[in-house]
Amino acid sequence: MTKAELIERTINAMTDPWTDCPEDYLYSTSIDLHEATDLLDQIRSDEKDMDLEPDEMLPQEVTPAIVMEAYNCHARAMKYEARTERLTDWIKENDPVCEYCSYYLPEHENAKDVAPVDWLTDTDGFPFIENASPLDLLCIGMNSRRTFDPQDEYCWFDSDAMTMHSTDHPFRDGVLDAEDFARFILLDAECFGYMFDDIIDDEDAKRILGCTKEEYINE
């Protein structure tokens, strides 16, 4: 077996896919070789008590070092998922559309561009189509009578259907992908720095990350 296969078998042996929850790992710390040895002994003891077939048991090639690496890698992955879930919830609640457009949109060619409805009153012409004709505007208005409300806060244009749309909560309504934006924030150093230094307060940051932003950066 390759090392990757042994690590996968070890993770399967130490976790239950039905009950393994990312939230349970948010405040976890890495284990050392001594703790990994105890964990390996416990796994082998449990397998013996379950009277498993040899091919169902953890391979003998698994060492405490592999258990340590497997546990710590799995814990980091689950901690990342827990942080993603919490940050996704924060994004849906707070609608950081400006930050989405500034950081996420330029890096994702097919991402939806959402703008404040107020922008429509502060620009000349129709900002979504260059040199839009009066007929274009008339058709767009007719197409958008059920999808666009000028009282909403945000809007976007569907160029294929020549239709304007609007909403007050683009992330909560699923217009913008809150989870994908959350993953982007956690992995992009510049966006993370701006969001957690200037937008997300320290209390929310600690709740989302399970630690301070300084501790997260130093992980």
Could you please report the per-residue DSSP string of 122-185? SSSS-TTSTT--HHHHHHHHHHTTTT--TTSSEEEEETTTTEEEEES-TTTTTSS-HHHHHHHH
- Please state the domain count of the chain: 2
Q: What's phi and psi for 57, nearest 5 deg? A: -90, 165
- The answer on 141 and 84 residing in a single domain is no
In a domain, 83, yes or no: yes
Residue 90: which residues within 8 A CB-CB, separation 6 or more?
200, 204, 208
Residues of the chain by 3-state class (helix, strand, coil), percent to 5: 60, 5, 35
* Token code pair at residue 59: 């391979």
Distance of CA 107 to the CA centre of its chain: 16
Cβ(74)–Cβ(15) below 8 Å: yes
Grade residue 9 by pLDDT with cuts at 50, 70 and 90: very high
- The answer on 86 and 7 residing in a single domain is yes
In a domain, 146, yes or no: yes
In a domain, 215, yes or no: no
- Summary mean pLDDT of the chain: 93
In a domain, 12, yes or no: yes
- The answer on 88 and 8 residing in a single domain is yes
Domain span including residue 142: 115-167
In a domain, 97, yes or no: no
More confident residue, 33 or 52: 33
Grade residue 54 by pLDDT with cuts at 50, 70 and 90: confident
Mean pLDDT of 34-43: 96
What predicted TM-score, i.e. pTM, was given to this entire model?
0.89
In a domain, 192, yes or no: no
In a domain, 178, yes or no: no
Q: How many C-beta atoms surround the C-beta of residue 165 within 10 A? A: 21
- The answer on 119 and 53 residing in a single domain is no
- The answer on 59 and 17 residing in a single domain is yes
- The answer on 135 and 55 residing in a single domain is no
Q: Is the Cα torsion angle 174, 164, 106, 215 positive or negative in sign?
A: negative
- The answer on 42 and 81 residing in a single domain is yes
Per-residue pLDDT tens digits for 71-83: 999 999 999 999 9
Q: How many C-beta atoms surround the C-beta of residue 131 within 10 A? A: 7
